[in-house]
Every structure is written in C-alpha cells, then in structure tokens.
Structure 1
Amino acid sequence: MTAEELQSDGSRYLPIGEHGLIGDLRTVALVGTNGTIDWYCCPRFDAPSVFGSILDADQGGSFELAADTPARTKQFYFPDTNVLITRFFADDGVGEVQDFMPVGDGSREADRHRLIRRVACVRGTLPFRVRVAPRFDYARQPHTVHTRGEQTLFESPSISLALTSTVPLDGDGRDVWGRFKLHEGEYAVFALDRVGDGLAMRGCPIQEAEEEFAATVRFWRRWLSASRYRGRWREVVHRSALTLKLLTYAPTGGIVAAPTTSLPEQIHGGRNWDYRYVWIRDAAFCVYALLRLGFTEEAECFMAFLSKHVPLCSDCPTGPLQIMYGIDGRSELPEQELHHLEGYRGSAPVRIGNAAVNQLQLDIYGALIDSIYLYDKWGQPISSDRWDELCTLVDWVCQNWDQPDEGIWETRGGRKNFVYSRLMCWVAIERAMRMASHRGLPADTPNWRRARDAIYREIMRRGWSSTLKAFVQHFEDDVLDASVLMMPLAKFVSPTDPKWLSTLEALGRELVSDSLVYRYDPEASPDGLQGVEGTFSICSFWYVEALARAGRLDEARLAFEKMLTYANHLGLYAEEIGHTGEQLGNFPQAITHLALISAAFNLDHALG
C-alpha cells in the first residue's frame, strides 16, 4: 500500500491480529486491543452482524469501551480460559476490561447470548469512556432506542438487544454513550442481552457479573482439564484447543471454519469469503486434533451433526456430500455482496454466503472417513447404521475418484486432476478397509482394493514430475503445491521415500520463506481469482510435521518455533501471514489451529 492509502484507512482499522475472541459456543465477538468490539453476530455465528466495524469503520457499528486518557494497552486471556482481559496503563492508574460470554447450560437462558464487559480500576484512578452503536443486519436495518433506568433497549425489525449499565448513559435515539471514573478497587458493568421471544429484560448488577465471571472461568478450566497433552508446547496447544472449542456450535456439534466473513487475503484484493459454515474437511480435521488431545465428546458431537443434519444425497451432481453446510445443516448458502460496506481497510467486496458450496472437492471424503476411522479407534466404535453410510460414501469414491474437481483450495479457474484430491480418495478407501478388517465389518473389499491400488498407481505415474523431481499440483504438469505435504502425514508414502525427500526439497526451495509456506504460485497455476496472497499457515504447520517425519528434527523444531512467532499476541492465527508478518484472511481459522496441534503432537513424539 502507498503512504496515502495507509493514512486514509490504516488509522480507522486495527490490524486483524490485534483482536481476541470470546464466545458462548453459539456465537462469538472479536475484541480489539483498543477495547472495541468490532465484530459480533447474534444469535449465532452466521447471523447478520450487530457490530461490524471491522468491515466498515463508519457504518458497521461497534461497542467501544476504553480508558478516556492516553494509555498503553495489553491483552491476555485469563489463564486456561476464553475470558479476555484488556489492560490500560495510564499516568494516573491502571484499569482493565474483562470480556466474556457465559456458556449456557442448554436452558432458555442460553438464548440470551449474554455478553458481559466488566470494568475495573486496579491501581490509582482512571477515567473511561463507552459508546454502544449497534448496526443491525450488516447495517441494513434501522433501530430505535428506549432507556429505562439502568437499561437500554435497542429494537430492530429482526432482533432486540438490551444493555444493562451500572453507570449513567446518554443517547440520541440511535447510540448511547457515557464517561465515568473509577478509583482503585471499583467496578462498572455493561451486559448486552438478546431479548424477546420469551426472554424478558434482566439486569446485571456488579455482584452478579462477578458470579458470572467465576462460573465462566470454571467452565473453561473444567473443559480444558480433560486434555491429555503434556508436551513441550502445552500453552500454545491448549490455546488452540480452546479456540477450536469456541468455534463449535453447541446445539448441533458443527465446527465453523472461522467466525468472520470477508477479512481479506490481500488488502484491496478480491479474495474475501464467508467462512462461518461447517466445511466437512475442516471440521473432520478438527475432530482429529481434538481426539489426539483426549476430547472425545467433541468428536461425538460432530458425528451426531453428520447423522442428524447431513443426509446423503443420492442424485446430487457433486456427490453424496456437499463440501460445506450451514451450522444447522442447511445446504443452501447463497452468496451475495454487500455493496454498502467498504470492507476491511477498503477491501471490497464484502460477501455473505459462499458459492463454493456447489463445488466438487473429492478430498472431503478422505478427511471425513479418516476422522471416522480415528473416532472408531480412539473414541467409540461406530454404529452399524454409520458403517452402512460410510460404505455408501466409499462405493461412490471408488466410482468417481478419477473426476477432475476444484480441489482443496476452492479455485475458480475450472476443474483439474488435482493430486491432493486423488490422495484423499486413496485415504478414504484405505481407512475404510482398515476398519472393515479390524472389526470384521461387511465390505466390498475386492472392489475397494482395486480402486485404492489404481489411485496409488495413477498418483505415482501421473502426479510425479520428472522435470521437478517432485509430486505436483495436478496430473501431468510441473506446478508445485503445498497440499502434497499431506502425503507422508496420510501414510500414502514413507516419509523417507526418495521420491518424497526430493519433493520436500523442491517445496523448500520454491514455496517456503522463513518457515512460511505458500500454497502454490498463482502465476504458474492460474486459479481464476484476482490478486496475490500471503503464506498459508496450515501449510506451514504441515511442513513442520513433514520435516519431523523425515527425521530432520532440528529444522522441524526451528520452523515450528518460528511459526509460533507469527501468532498474534494471544496465540491466535488467521488464515494467512502477509509479507511483513501480519495476519490476513478470516480470523481465527480453525484449520490452522488444528494443524498446530498435530505438528506439536508429532514433533514432541519425534523428539522423544
């Protein structure tokens, strides 16, 4: 960006990485290091935004709460929880904002999606300012404001929110604001509730906020105590696990790819997508990561999501499964652009919905069946009905694995014979064969074996470039792709096979920069999209794991430690890392955190 561009929009937007995440297993809020909530959808992840200033600083709406004096800020999570604390250090005092969302027990009260902001002065005296400016339905719906004592009601045609404040607020019929001063040991509380549909307005006095704080801390610590990970990187692994749990939609067990939409992969670029849905691939990989840590309940919930909300389609042109679903299992996710929003730092378009839902991506079958295999191995044996469904999927893969598809990266440049897609079809069949053999389950084993072996031979013959001395992006071409890093991880090839070691060397030369890994070169392999992108964080963690499995432990450990320096201040990762180390793309991204867990787990094991 030019200096003029930075001046025009840089000061209006925090960097993507300058945020923390809170949530209640139904929705989340992004809280900036400046104390502003600039992304919040209610009542669930994929609902229209209430606060969306991360996508339009002027029109999107926000909940500002900060020291009303020049102050340095620092942000951290209350240890072993998803309770976020933003601290303000000023000349006359130190204060903090404790942000959290109580996790409901499944009762009607859970539908409040209560968001509590507890303000404390911990040293000296500190003035604060607050401004609550909701903009409902992505800033498309008007609203009214009614104040009754300590409570303010924001009403829009689609949803109503009630704000409880223990300090006086002023308003103009659209927003409310106030200034107040706290002395050492004093508190103020702001609580935002969804109301209506049987939910009456309810206050939140200081004592109740303290009790809710303690209960929320207990919930997260109790959940994390089930972790079996005791390795070298316990803190970052547990932060990743806590983040994955935050991205789980408790009513169905679905896991969203990310809780945001349209955060750009390139500033002023067009690669802006809505990730607030359940990608079969991402969610299946998440199940793998959580199972490795001992969280079997999450795996069970995702299996229940598949059973109850993802019916197999017998006549769909893209196969029995879609690549993604709504968090409630809905199959229609129409994509549209919101032209009235300028986008993060002017990075239009802002999109909601996702047209990639209709793509053919064959790799999802391998990711899903691998997760079911691991669940059957480490969790609970799958049911006979589930096995019948799995056999239907494997039979379909055996018949369709050789179709060209859009691939894992959801390119929009036409279908191709992607090596990664073939690899994961092999995984789908091979894992199913393992399950059938281990449990004596009925299966069309001869047909499965023929298809599995045919895929293997095709990859070895057509997915290998004698020019590059490497496995490549798609058949009979000379383009590298970081997705082939999954080959040894999926046990398709030995991690010390000469062909694989040669591939690893080629990837290191062409796609790796200071441990950071690019997915592919868009100039060498046009993907139908405008602009360039940063390095892809999941690929960087795959690279660590591939190095470790190849016995290059010193390189693997250094690459892993370098990747940890690219996390934000809380240990969170967006989809990509930009050229100057900034977080880019939707934030935080589930698949990146699951790759971190896998890399840490396997690197620990290799180091002994």
Structure 2
Amino acid sequence: MSDFLPIENYGVIGNLRTLALVSMTGAIDFFCFPRFDSPTVFAALLDPQKGGYFCIQANLKDSGTKQLYLPDTNVLLTRFLSGAGIAEITDFMPVLNGDDVGRIVRRVAVIHGDVEFNLQCRPRFDYGRVPHTAKHDGNAVLFLHDDDQPPFVLQSTLKLQLDGDDVAQSFRLKAGDVAWFVFSEDAADARKDLSPEGLEEEFQKTSDYWRNWIGQSNYKGRWREMVNRSGLLLKLLIDRDYGSIVAAPTFALPESIGGSRNWDYRYTWLRDSSFVLYAMMRLGFQEEAAQFQRWIHDRLNYDSPQGPLQVLYRIDGTHETPETTLDNLRGYEDSRPVRIGNAAWQQLQLDIYGEFLDSVYLAAKYGDGLSIEDWENVKRMLRWLASNWNQPDDGIWEVRGGRKHFLHSRLMCWVAFDRAVRLGAKRSLTGPFGWMEETRDEIANDIHTNFWDEELQSFVQYKGAKVVDAAILLMPMMRFISPTDPKWLSTLKRIDQELTVDTFVYRYKYVEGFDGLKGDEGSFTACCFWFIEALARSHETARAQLLFEKMLGYANHLGLYSEELGSSAQHLGNFPQALTHLALISAATYLDRDLSGTGPKEWK
C-alpha cells in the first residue's frame, strides 16, 4: 500500500464501543481499540506505511469494486467485479453484551469464477509507536506487544502464514467457497478453531440486531433511506455502556489537504447533546434518548475551571483531553500536525449552557421529569451564567485567535434561561423565576441592540463585526426570532449572499488571524443542512427541497458525510461526522412535514 484513498471511499462497521473504517478496496485502514478514544491498531488512513492495516483483495484483471450495506443494517459488503469472476467480502462487528470480546469478522466468498486473493494483516499498536511480535498458537496468530492495549489474535478457516511479525499470504477460492477471518482481542475462545456455522449465526444475529433497531423508527416520510442511514450511523457512534456520542470516530483528517486544521473528534461535545436528543426523539428512539439523558445528568455534578460545564468530555465522562501530536505518522495526504486529544476542553464556550438546557428541556418535556436535586443543580448553573453571559468567549467554532462577544454564544445563553423558565412552568418546579426572566430579557435586548447592524440589515457574527456566520442560522430554530420576521429574512439573505455557493455553506469568511489558524477549509456540511431548514422555516419550501435533494447527492456511496466538502466536493475533515447527520435528520423531518402539510401551522 502506497497511496491514500479519498476519505469518501470508506464505509464503517462497529460494535457500539468502537468502529472501523473499511475501504472500497477491502482494507481496514482505521481501527481504535477497545473504545472510540483508545489508541489505534490500524491507522493506514493516516500513514499507509506505518499506520497498520488489514487488507483482503481479489486479484481480478480489469476489475471494479462496489460497496454497500445490507439494507437496514451496519453490515458492509465490498464486491470485486470482473469478467473473470465476482468475489465479495462481508464485514461486521458483533454487537457486544457485557464482557464480550471485541471482534472484526470478515467473510470472503466467490460468487463466480476461480479467484486468487491477497491477505495482509499488519497491526501497528498505540498509533504505530509500539513494536510487536507475532507467533502461531495452533492455526491462530497471536500479536504480542508491550502496551496497555490487549494482545490480538487473527484466526481463520484457512491456514495462516507469518511474514515476519505480520500475516501475509495468497489464497484461492472457487465459486461457492467461503473463507472466514476473525481479528479479535485475545481471550480463552479467541484461539480456538473457528466454526463456520457459529459465524453464520453471528452474522445473522448482527443483521437482525440492526434491522430490529431501525425497525423501531417512526419516520415514514420522504428520503427515508437517507434518514435511516443517518440514524444507523448515529447509533454506531453512541457508546453502549455510557450513552455518550462521539463527534466522529477519527482524528487528524484535514479540513484542507496539506493544512494544519487537523483535530481529534473522538470525544463527546456537550454541544451535540440537544441535537442528539431531538433526532432520537424525532425518530422514536426513546431508549437512546433516555440513556443520553442519564449521561447528561452526571455532568450536573461537576464544576470545570471554566464554569459548571466544559465543552467536551471523554466518552466515560472524564474531563481532560490533553492535546499532543504524533510525529511518527505522515498524516492524511501529508497534512500535519497529526493531533490526538483536543485542547478545546479548556476553552470557554458559553453556548454550551444553552445546548445543555435545551437538552434538559427536551428530555423533561418528552420523557421523565427532573429530580429535585437536578433542578437545584440547574439553578446553581444558571446563577453562574447570570453573572458570566456577557463575557467574550472562544465560540462554537473553537477559534484560537482570541475571544470575542459571539452572537451564537449570546443566543444560546438566552436559550438557557428561556428553557429553564419554560421547564419550570411545564413541570411546576420551584422558583423564584423572576431573575431568570429578567436575565433572559436582558440578553435578548443585548442581541437586538449590539448584534444588529443597521447598515448591513443583518445580525452579525460578533459584536462590532461586519460579517455573518452560519451559526446565526440557528436563531429561528432556537425560537429566538420568528422565521418570517423582516430582520431575520434580511439576515438570511445576507448569509445566502456571503456564505453560500449553491448548496454549499461555509461557516464564516476566512480572514487571516481571526481564528488563529493558517489555511482555508471547505464548506461545512452541517451548515448546509441548517441553511436548508432555515429556508423551509421561512417558507422558501421549493428552494429548500431542491437544495436538500442536491445535498443528498454529495454523500458518499453509502450515504455518509464527513465534516466538510472541498472545492471539488471531496470529503474533508473527520469522517463520518455526527453533527452533519443530526442536521440532516432535523432538516429532513421538518421539510417533509412542511411538504406534507402536517407541520405546525403557527410559530411556537
């Protein structure tokens, strides 16, 4: 392996604790273990020579490949097609229960012809920093290393051959033949001979699990296949043990090829919380919503140095995600630095209080009410915010060019107090509420006075700015302003003029020094769907539908999106990104109701 593949040429499989990226050429090029935020075992995505991979390829002349999911599952098929033969690889990870061992299962079959395959399994532990040895134990190959990660075992129904401390060999299958490969954490059963019948049963159980899960969705509207795929992807990103969701399963994939905007997204951003709850409730997945609500509950009992909440957390809810660089890896298409960890955990981003309270409000509105202790903790948090909402902060885009009074942060501070007042009224919670209402109204007046530019006829990105920001698109969705208010319509027009190109939407205009980073970036896919929903809410339904359906065409071959799209529509940034698929679900459900005439008739 010598070349990088396009980011969009990958699918994903997972077991609700971690996830692997599988290329259209049959290579597993990215895999962290045992959890999403653990060190890598395979990272050829970031360095084809040093990162490690597990590749099975059919040697077929003039062949093409196709990749697809079995309908309504996260079971992935990669097909090799030529006149000489047809072969396919079925990849899946059994969903874990309790102390089950994490495993990648690969089923190789020939449909037509007599096909030779090349197999290479070359793990590289701890981000490629820790050497390993390999040895046979019966037919199993055991990979041993001196690190916190467990040893791994490769087992097969074929005889495996060592190539130094890796496995590399060729094998042939004819039509009707099947070979199985299992790459797993070492355990008592991992070294035993494989049972094809048992593996077929696991395949069926895994397929049934996903079909049964997505079958609970109550969404029956337009674009159902894409909405379901987004739901299935989000489920893959939710940790089964903790209920938290990672922003993306990868790190250091660049927002610009060769650039330095290469971040680690394998953590849970509090900002995603209300979007996750809204999407899961909208689709009817009450269990996931309740589980995430419990994770949110545990965040109420901790104060960070920046305030009662912090921007992001590890999957298990612990707080520190120190940012370092991996100098041993090339980086995707030589984009450096290769960062792990994320320094944003130490930033001040005041918008998170609004997103947090919005999620608490949604959970209490549609699920169980707050406990007395939780409500007291919410009030304690709001007391802190009442004294701090007027600070400059680092903002939703986590800029590193200095703090400013960002409109989106101010808006979400308003949301925090608005939702608390609404929650108190709906659930008969203890007051007093006068100070919350006064603070809410003070913030609203500040927004209308200091963030409205009369010359531009638009709300602006930050106090004193002459530019807009795509995060402003959330103003009507957060119920701060009517989507038909003249001030909003002129703001939407300004965003359209300055930040959009057809269906592409950019976060903000790049001005050197503003965000403290060099280089540009692509259009932000979540913002594309925010813009579409904003159009629909403002009664530009026909245009919203056209842009939405065009935007669906920019997904990869499996219906997955990365964080951004480049100038040639190539996928950029970490992949696949939860926020994009959350925004897709929100836009699809609103637009479908609007087109069907089943949406709310009045603005609430």
Partner of 1:502: 490
Is the partner of 2:107 in helix, strand or coil? strand
1:572-583 alignment runs, 5 A limit: 572-583=560-571
**C-alpha distance in 2 between matches for 1:35 and 1:436:** 54
1:108-152 alpha-carbon deviations (Å, 9 max, x no partner): 22xx21110111112222221110000000110011101133211
Is the partner of 1:67 in helix, strand or coil? strand
Contact (CA 8 Å) 1:231, 1:601: kept in 2 or not?
yes
1:409-448 alignment runs, 5 A limit: 409-448=397-436
1:114-125 alignment runs, 5 A limit: 114-125=103-114
Q: Which stretch shows the higher mean deviation, 413-422 or 166-175? A: 166-175
Compute the displacement of 1:525 (Å).
7.0
Compute the displacement of 1:312 (Å).
3.5
* Counterpart among 231, 245, 255 of residue 255 in structure 1: 245
Q: Which amino acid aligns with 1:543?
A: F
Contact (CA 8 Å) 2:105, 2:183: kept in 1 or not?
yes
1:77-98 alpha-carbon deviations (Å, 9 max, x no partner): 0100000110110222111100
Could you tell me which runs of 5 or more consecutive residues in structure 2 were left unpaired when the two chains were aligned.
597-604
Is the partner of 1:254 in helix, strand or coil? coil
Partner of 2:229: 239
* Counterpart among 43, 65, 82 of residue 73 in structure 1: 65
Partner of 2:469: 481
Q: Which amino acid aligns with 2:258?
A: H
1:49-86 alpha-carbon deviations (Å, 9 max, x no partner): 00000011110000011112232000010100000110
Compute the displacement of 1:524 (Å).
7.1
**C-alpha distance in 2 between matches for 1:563 and 1:551:** 19
1:590-605 alignment runs, 5 A limit: 590-605=578-593
Is the partner of 1:252 in helix, strand or coil? coil
Partner of 2:369: 381
Is the partner of 1:75 in helix, strand or coil? strand
**C-alpha distance in 2 between matches for 1:268 and 1:250:** 35
Compute the displacement of 1:492 (Å).
0.4
* Counterpart among 20, 44, 48 of residue 53 in structure 1: 44
2:138 counterpart of 1:149: yes
**C-alpha distance in 2 between matches for 1:145 and 1:317:** 46
Partner of 1:22: 13
Partner of 1:6: none
Q: Which amino acid aligns with 2:390?
A: D
Q: Is the alpha carbon distance of 1:199 and 1:376 closer, same or farther for their aligned partners in structure 2, counting shifts above 3 Å?
A: farther
Compute the displacement of 1:396 (Å).
2.1
**C-alpha distance in 2 between matches for 1:508 and 1:141:** 50
Contact (CA 8 Å) 1:93, 1:124: kept in 2 or not?
yes
Partner of 1:103: 95
**C-alpha distance in 2 between matches for 1:172 and 1:524:** 50
1:93-492 alignment runs, 5 A limit: 93-106=85-98, 108-109=99-100, 112-158=101-147, 159-196=150-187, 201-308=191-298, 310=299, 312-314=301-303, 316-492=304-480
RMSD: 1.4
**C-alpha distance in 2 between matches for 1:12 and 1:22:** 23
**C-alpha distance in 1 between matches for 2:41 and 2:293:** 31
Is the partner of 1:307 in helix, strand or coil? helix
Q: Which amino acid aligns with 1:347?
A: S
Is the partner of 1:421 in helix, strand or coil? helix
**C-alpha distance in 2 between matches for 1:230 and 1:456:** 38
**C-alpha distance in 2 between matches for 1:72 and 1:597:** 32
Q: Between Structure 1 and Structure 2, how many residues are aligned?
A: 593
Compute the displacement of 1:558 (Å).
0.7
1:402-452 alpha-carbon deviations (Å, 9 max, x no partner): 111000000001110000001011111111111100111012311001110
Partner of 1:541: 529
Compute the displacement of 1:99 (Å).
0.4
Q: Which stretch shows the higher mean deviation, 471-480 or 547-556? A: 471-480
1:449-484 alpha-carbon deviations (Å, 9 max, x no partner): 111001111111111112221111101221110100
Contact (CA 8 Å) 2:60, 2:85: kept in 1 or not?
no
- State the percentage of identical aligned residues: 50
Partner of 2:23: 32
1:270-306 alpha-carbon deviations (Å, 9 max, x no partner): 0000000011012332122111111111111112223
Partner of 1:554: 542
Is the partner of 1:474 in helix, strand or coil? coil
Q: Is the alpha carbon distance of 1:203 and 1:423 closer, same or farther for their aligned partners in structure 2, counting shifts above 3 Å?
A: farther
**C-alpha distance in 1 between matches for 2:485 and 2:274:** 28
Q: Which amino acid aligns with 2:175?
A: E
Partner of 2:601: none
**C-alpha distance in 2 between matches for 1:388 and 1:75:** 51
**C-alpha distance in 1 between matches for 2:216 and 2:379:** 33
Q: Which amino acid aligns with 2:39?
A: P
Contact (CA 8 Å) 2:45, 2:51: kept in 1 or not?
yes
Partner of 1:5: none
Compute the displacement of 1:500 (Å).
0.4
Q: Which amino acid aligns with 1:91?
A: G
Contact (CA 8 Å) 1:154, 1:161: kept in 2 or not?
yes
Contact (CA 8 Å) 1:370, 1:427: kept in 2 or not?
yes
**C-alpha distance in 1 between matches for 2:505 and 2:526:** 9
1:249-285 alpha-carbon deviations (Å, 9 max, x no partner): 1111110000000000000000000000011012332
**C-alpha distance in 2 between matches for 1:250 and 1:597:** 21
Contact (CA 8 Å) 1:467, 1:478: kept in 2 or not?
no
Compute the displacement of 1:379 (Å).
2.4
Q: Which amino acid aligns with 2:54?
A: F
Q: Which amino acid aligns with 1:239?
A: R
Q: Which stretch shows the higher mean deviation, 56-65 or 124-133? A: 124-133
**C-alpha distance in 2 between matches for 1:395 and 1:567:** 43
Contact (CA 8 Å) 1:130, 1:178: kept in 2 or not?
yes
**C-alpha distance in 2 between matches for 1:202 and 1:333:** 38
Is the partner of 1:66 in helix, strand or coil? strand
Q: Which amino acid aligns with 2:273?
A: A
Contact (CA 8 Å) 1:189, 1:205: kept in 2 or not?
no
Compute the displacement of 1:200 (Å).
5.5
**C-alpha distance in 1 between matches for 2:471 and 2:301:** 27
1:527-572 alpha-carbon deviations (Å, 9 max, x no partner): 1011000000111000000000000001100110111011101000
Compute the displacement of 1:390 (Å).
2.0
Contact (CA 8 Å) 1:479, 1:524: kept in 2 or not?
no
